[in-house]
Amino acid sequence: AQTVTQSQPEMSVQEAETVTLSCTYDTSESDYYLFWYKQPPSRQMILVIRQEAYKQQNATENRFSVNFQKAAKSFSLKISDSQLGDAAMYFCAYRSERGGGADGLTFGKGTHLIIQP
């Protein structure tokens, strides 16, 4: 079974600064997707960024980028120019592709990101 580990229960960053959230995972599969989801106080899950395991290039979405190290099974999220609206729980998630993408997500325990004004 796959596992996802987020070792930082809480992170704090000054507004406009950069922060990196860590995520490691364990799998024996070679084909999978990795995701970062954001859950604000409303509890609505919002997709931040996705990464296909077969792609070497790191995904980027505006201020959000990942550092995907497949051999090390590491998938960190970097948030640049942090804004107050970035404050939320961030979950790293894994999805196997063995079922053609029809599998559910395995989530890490989450990191609570605090933005200091």
Partner 1 sequence: GAVVSQHPSWVICKSGTSVKIECRSLDFQATTMFWYRQFPKQSLMLMATSNEGSKATYEQGVEKDKFLINHASLTLSTLTVTSAHPEDSSFYICSARGGAWETQYFGPGTRLLVL
Q: For binding to partner 1 (CB under 8 A), which residues are involved? A: 37, 42-47, 50, 91, 95, 100-110
Residue whose CB is less far from partner 1, 17 or 55: 55
Query: Toward partner 1, which CB reaches closer, 75 or 91?
Result: 91
Sequence-distant (≥ 6) Cβ neighbours of residue 38 within 8 angstroms? 45, 46, 48, 86, 88, 89, 90, 91
First to last CA, the chain: 41
CB of 16 to partner 1, least distance (A): 28
Phi, psi of 9 (to 5 degrees): -65, -30
Smallest gap, in angstroms, from Cβ of residue 90 to partner 1?
Answer: 11
- Nearer to partner 1 (CB atom), residue 53 or residue 110: 110
